[in-house]
Structure 1
């Protein structure tokens, strides 16, 4: 099957599975709604913050507060795109139609990545503008130094979360197992490693902690992170490449 036919086939699969469409929609709603809520609360409490918190207040990053939950939906999307075929048994039919497994995986990941990128970019810009609206006179402007980079970076971050999940799902080949590892990894292990002094220097190199640096405009006063916004995103890209490579090797060497 030609590459264009593979892409067309994967696009049809994603569109026809309601769960993948719903998870993308949920990512949009949760990210924007929670970002607006946190922005409104931040504005109301700004005067009661101590001086240091006021000096390091980042209106752009505040509007992205919803991404902490929005990335949950992107993880589910990435897992379902890849692992649904294994749980349903359709993977055998797919590989029979596309015997070249690298082409099969590349087509699937490419289509899902483009879709995730479009949704993530739209979500990031919407979360920024609506969050700034809630912040009122505390708001940042898209033309301010570092803001446009942060907004674009927010869309890239959510996209990379989804692609990383695709790679992990390709390795594990099970929706439940993939989610059972990814959820604790991002929402428990990463937070613990990032908040404990002994492990903080290790935690900052995890994909979510490194990648989220791209959304910061005003760094904390005591920030000693050894990389900048783009460096952090680069670390996240390396995690994504490793996950996809692992997924390809498993797909190539193991039976469906």
Structure 2
């Protein structure tokens, strides 16, 4: 089957499954809404903040406060895109139609990643503009140094989270097992390792900790991270590549 036919087939599969569409929609709504809420609360509390907190406020990063919760829906999207076919048994039919397993997997990844990128960029720009509107006089402007990079980076971050989840799901095949590993990894283990002084130097090289650096415009007080915004995104991209390679290798070696 030609590459264009594989891509068209994967696009049909994704858009015909309601759960995948709803998860991306939820990611957008939750991220934007929570970012607006946190931005509004920051504005109302600004005068009661200490001088150090006022000076170190990063308006751009504040508007992305909903990203940590919105990525939950993105993770679910990435897992469902890959593992739905295993849970329904459709994987046998798909591989019979596209026996070249590499073409099958990367056609699926390409379509899902493109969709995640579009939604991620829309989410990131909406989060920024609506969040800054809530911040009022404390807002940042899209033309300020580093701001456009951070906003574009927010969309790239969401895309890479989805792709990493796809790679893990391709390795594990089970949606429950994939989510059972990814959710604690991002929402428990990563936070613990990134915030405990004894493990902080390890935690900052985890995909979400490194990738989120791209959305920061002002460095945090006492931040001694040995990489910059693009370096952090590069570390996250390496995690994604490793997950996708692992998924591809296992898909090639085992039965459907």
Query: What is the TM-score of this pair, normalised by structure 2?
Result: 1.00
Alpha-carbon distance in 1 for matches of 2:142, 2:53: 22
**Equivalent residues in 2 for 1:3-18, closer than 5 Å:** 3-18=3-18
Q: Any runs of at least 4 consecutive aligned residues in structure 1 with deviations exceeding 2 A, and if so which?
A: none
Displacement of 1:221: 1.9
1:44 maps to which residue?
A: 44
Look up the match of 1:125.
125
Cα deviation per residue 1:62-112 (whole Å; 9 max; x = unaligned)? 000000111000000000000000000000000000000000001000000
Aligned match of 1:201? 201
| Alignment size in residue pairs | 256
In the alignment, the residues of structure 2 paired with residue 57 and residue 225 of structure 1 have an alpha-carbon distance, to the nearest angstrom, of 18
Q: What corresponds to 1:70 in structure 2?
A: 70
Q: In 2, distance between residues paired with 1:2 and 1:147?
A: 41
The runs of 5 or more residues in structure 1 that have no matched partner are none
How do 1:1-256 residues align onto structure 2 when only pairs under 5 Å count?
A: 1-256=1-256
Q: Note the alpha carbon deviations across 1:135-174, whole angstroms, 9 max, x for none.
A: 0000000000000000000000000000000000000000
Distance in 2 (alpha carbons) for counterparts of 1:221 and 1:159: 28
In structure 2, distance between residues paired with 1:151 and 1:220 = 18
> SS at the partner of 2:145?
coil
The alignment's TM-score, normalised by the length of structure 1, stands at 1.00
- In the alignment, the residues of structure 1 paired with residue 116 and residue 229 of structure 2 have an alpha-carbon distance, to the nearest angstrom, of 21
Distance 1:226 1:50 in 2: 28
- For residues 52 and 102 of structure 2, the distance between their equivalents in structure 1, rounded to whole angstroms, comes to 52
